[in-house]
A and B are shown apart, each in its own frame.
Chain A
């Protein structure tokens, strides 16, 4: 921080080139502006075409007309997209820092698989049919698998490799279970095939209130962890010397990632690519400092998610394509382009 702050003081006296920190702050503001634009687009654009006046009417002078109902639905969908996008981006950033692996994503630690297994169980054995009913099952599944990965990964002596291995192993076993149930039970297949691609269509105010407390708690925890995780990026010994509590930080990181990603998956199904890609992209221009990566990831992930959702509503009118599919189809090529263009930003 010393290196950064010195040129900044100089900038006040003489018109020196803007410092990195200033550029990053401006960049953050620009990102917020882009996010607002995308959010407006997400409310205004959809399978049913509405004029801006109708949108305004629906937002501020709701009288219950057809247009108002549409706007209301899009509003909750947009809010859910904002929350879930930020949660996915943050959980990806935390997991990549925790495992010191730039390829870590919620799928790696088995969290998605846990949620999927719980949902398929809910459908087949408990007869749950409503989306708001899945939420608790999915969240419970994700949390249970998160805890299991933590203990199998060695809890007190957990290392990045062990956690990743434990996550992959549990995901593999649960994936087999999900496939088996889907083959044997056609009713489960009929529902699961839509749940597993990930979509924001489930958005209701009820869903939002169900997941909101978890998302807020997880976000706060993630931001608190930025500093100790930064220290741990330098290796265990250095981190210890710098005063970081290795085990406590690891346990809390795991908790934050599980809560964030579990709640997001519970609300929308497993949306895979956002948590992997956005922190990866952000790191290429912020560098390895998590105090910058986290805010950027929290703002740019909803941009990707909501943008994809808007595109998904437009490309196949009058039906729509689920957001999880569009994020991967847009995100995949961008990701490959970035991998090709530069030496991948290491952690």
Chain B
């Protein structure tokens, strides 16, 4: 709790007098009241987690920029980013490595947020976009371009985007029956995912070996060779969609209590759900188009975030920061462990995801929660 008062000193001292603070659960949510009668619910622990995650993501980014065939110390990286580096450093940092790191941050953030929304909408901790078939659908779009048209990287990205959006629309429409229900959404998603997987398998067996190798690297998810052309569209999309999703977070939180209760509380359930799903599909598809279907970030980031904040609800902002931190760290790990350009980041996130789930299993078991 000491770090709490250090990071946000004014708020704690003003809003919660020392006497009252002692009566509360440490780190629990508290109300922030202004003289004008406005009040804001403030979850200190979540706030600290978000701040720490942002710091971790940025620190990992700086380290990642310094990593490669031409290593640059972290201090020089910061100096170069501020515009005071040598010409060679400027070129390496600004033209080569910064866009890659930015794509990593944005993709991670988009996947984390998209995953959190999907898990909340489907009310299932396994209901992430990868399980629902969005990743597979985007892959099918990309593979069509790679295998049948031998298209360029940009065309592959467009193919993935189209594939993801079509799959998202198909899942929503097929699951629609006087409203979309979480359970039906997951089941339909699994069906669609199986079909898309089969199409992908077929395309890979039909491809020649060079195309197949390219397809496998793409399917694993990679940040190699990403430049500013990938950054800008992703950045604009995130700037548009993230606020839109966060504005509807309140409705999403209530929807976790069930459709009837949230309807009674004044949430327009179907409208909010459709809006959020469209946003999540767009975020996931854009992220997949930029980096390929990076495994498990969308699945694990919301769960990790929820465990760190220890607060119920979708935890959208922590999930977003967690996704960004996770992806950049995984990219750094893949470069350090295997050498530059050897194995793409998706291998590391896949293994990390598995190890994380195992850790979860052991600790939760010890705590007797599952």
Contact = CB atoms under 8 A, between A and B. Distances in A.
A171 B354 contact: yes
B302 interface: no
A182 B68 CA distance: 24
Contacts of B351: 172-173, 176-177
A91 to B, nearest CB: 17
Chain B contact residues (Cβ within 8 angstroms of A): what range? 35 or more
A33 interface: no
Nearest to B356: A169
B370 A162 contact: yes
B191 A339 contact: yes
A328 B296 contact: no
Nearest to B346: A179
Interface stretch (A58-66, A190-198, A218-226, A245-253): A190-198
24 contacts: A152-B361, A152-B362, A162-B361, A165-B360, A170-B358, A173-B354, A174-B354, A179-B216, A179-B219, A183-B344, A194-B205, A197-B204, A272-B194, A321-B202, A324-B201, A328-B198, A332-B192, A333-B191, A336-B192, A339-B184, A339-B191, A340-B177, A340-B188, A344-B187
Q: What is the predominant secondary structure among interface residues of chain B facing chain A? A: helix
Contacts, number: 150
A184 B354 contact: no
B24 interface: no
B194 A340 contact: no
Contact of B347 (A179, A189, A196, A340): A179
Nearest to A187: B209
Interface residues of A, number: 50
Given A180-B347, A339-B187, A340-B177, A175 B194 contact: no
B169 interface: no
A341 to B, nearest CB: 9
A183 B370 contact: no
Interface in A147-176: 152-154, 159, 161-162, 165-166, 168-176
B357 A172 contact: yes
Contacts of A328: 194-195, 197-198
Interface of B: 126, 174-175, 177, 183-184, 186-188, 190-192, 194-195, 197-199, 201-202, 204-205, 209, 212-213, 216-217, 219-220, 295-296, 342-344, 346-351, 353-358, 360-362, 365, 370
Contacts of A175: 295, 350, 354
Contact of B343 (A166, A172, A180, A322): A180
A193 B357 contact: no
Contacts of A154: 365
B201 A322 contact: yes
Nearest to B300: A172
Contact of A344 (B183, B192, B220, B348): B183
A165 B370 contact: yes
Given A159-B370, A177-B351, A328-B197, A336 B357 contact: no
A176 B201 contact: no
Given A169-B358, A172-B295, A325-B201, 19 more contacts: A168-B126, A169-B355, A172-B350, A172-B354, A173-B355, A176-B347, A177-B351, A183-B344, A322-B201, A322-B205, A329-B198, A329-B199, A332-B195, A333-B191, A335-B187, A335-B190, A336-B192, A340-B177, A344-B183
Contacts of A193: 201, 204-205, 212, 216
Given A172-B296, A173-B355, A196 B209 contact: no
A340 B184 CA distance: 7
A140 interface: no
A332 B167 CA distance: 14
A332 B201 contact: no
A186 interface: yes
A324 B212 contact: no
Contacts of A170: 354, 358
Given A177-B351, A332-B194, A189 B361 contact: no
A103 interface: yes
Most buried by B among A153, A159, A327, A336: A336
Contact of B209 (A152, A169, A177, A186): A186
